[in-house]
Amino acid sequence: MKAEDLIIVKTVTELMDAAKTNLTALEFKVTNWRAGGVFQTLLEISSQGLADLYTLLRDLVGQNFVGSATGDWLDLKAAETETYRLLAEKAQGNVVFKREVTGSNVIIPEGAIVSTPVDSQGNSYRYFVIKQAVMDSVTAELAVLVEAEFAGAEYNVGAGQVTSIITYIAGIDSVNNLSDWLVTPGTDDEDDESLRLRSKNKWYQLSSGGTRESYINWAQEITGVMVVQVDDEHPRGQGSVDVIITSASGIPSAELISQVQDHLNIKKPLCSNVLVVAPTPITVNWDVMLYVNKEHGELADIESQGAEIIDIMYRYGETDHPEIKKISPTQGVIRAQAISNLMTIDYVENVVITAPAADVAGASRGLVVKGTVNVTAVRLS
């Protein structure tokens, strides 16, 4: 039984019919119930209010159980098990500043802004230099720590996306971000289903030993951890447990692994030897052909949109593009899913993916990561 089934909602018509029946049994003097009449209107008003009250009671009943509560109500229910919603965090990562000519020191000031180009939806993601850095006279490239302008997983852009310099810096010619640029992935506010599951899993922590569910729940208490796999089959000898974590950007940074390791060292049973590790990357290269309407659509723009969609597919936990289904860390790459995503591009009438040539299955300790991406748009004749 669902929580909302505990309250049987009555419609306005049902309430009015019941009221008329009761009034007739009480020999009520008014018998003219024509539409628009005074007593008919008064009865409709009172019945509508009562029907709304039934609906409100049904909704309130559902909000009293962690299995059906939503939003702020779920926050209150989860707090009863000391489980709290993980709030959005800003992405931090290293962006490489480059110059063609060396010979003098260049100061990269705190607050300097770099960004991605404007994408197909008119969005551009800006990042701010956290601390002043100095490129000495013999250095041509320098990695500088930057922070996203706002919180959110959408700032976990792929390699080669941060290429625009908003703040002019004399002597700097270009910027770029590498594949492992993220230090701390950005995250969105935790959704209801994730919070609900963690609240339910809290009960597993009441056992005297660490269960698989306990390790999952403990690891997910750290912001940025999206998916947790547990190898509790003594992978490194008796009493050992490996916890494999996936971050919002895929492969977790060393800093995130360290945070989870420290947290599990406090939570785990004394007899357990727990090691937090990153999944083994499974690189998937993409070679995609987009067939475009013979009369409409700019080929260059469509190619850019295709590459952008593939990049978004790897942003685990990102909620700003719900129309694009993300790659599952456990199921791997499903070509049909990618084709469905790419078919959402205006004027694209067919999609052919030559690489990967087949679906790429997920592995128990592996994670698919984006390799090279080659998107070509072709005009239909």
* 169-190 residue pLDDT tens: 999 999 999 988 999 899 889 8
pLDDT at 238: 87
pLDDT at 232: 87
β-strand 164-165 against 113-115: which pairing, if any? antiparallel
Residue 193 C-beta-side C-alpha neighbours within 13 Å: 2
pLDDT at 292: 95
> In angstroms, rounded to a whole number, what is the distance separating the alpha carbons of residues 367 and 175?
28
pLDDT at 3: 67
Q: How far apart are the first and last CA of the chain?
A: 57
Rg, Å, the chain Cα set: 28
Closest CA to 40 of 17, 10, 70: 17
Instruction: Give the model confidence (pLDDT) of 268-322 as tens digits.
Output: 887 889 999 999 999 999 999 999 998 899 999 999 999 999 999 988 877 778 8
3-state helix, strand, coil in the chain (%, to 5): 30, 25, 45
pLDDT at 207: 57
Q: Please check whether the domain covering 192-278 is classified as CATH 2.60.120.
A: no
> In angstroms, rounded to a whole number, what is the distance separating the alpha carbons of residues 179 and 339?
24
- Segment 2-24 mean pLDDT: 80
Q: Is the pLDDT of residue 144 over 80?
A: yes
pLDDT at 33: 75
Q: Is the pLDDT of residue 50 over 70?
A: yes
Q: Which amino acid is at 323?
A: E
- Segment 59-70 mean pLDDT: 87
Q: H or E segment at 133?
A: strand 133-135
pTM of the model: 0.65
> In angstroms, rounded to a whole number, what is the distance separating the alpha carbons of residues 222 and 155?
19
> Chain-wide mean pLDDT for the chain?
88
Closest CA to 165 of 91, 100, 115: 115
Choose from 52-66, 105-119, 192-206, 232-246 the range with maximum mean pLDDT. Answer: 105-119
Q: Is the pLDDT of residue 112 over 80?
A: yes
Report cis status (omega within 30 of 0) of the bond before 356: yes
Q: How confident is the model at residue 379 (pLDDT cuts 50, 70, 90)?
A: very high
Q: How confident is the model at residue 1 (pLDDT cuts 50, 70, 90)?
A: low
Residues in the chain: 381
> In angstroms, rounded to a whole number, what is the distance separating the alpha carbons of residues 257 and 253?
6
Tell me the domain boundaries of the chain: 3-62, 92-184, 192-278, 281-379
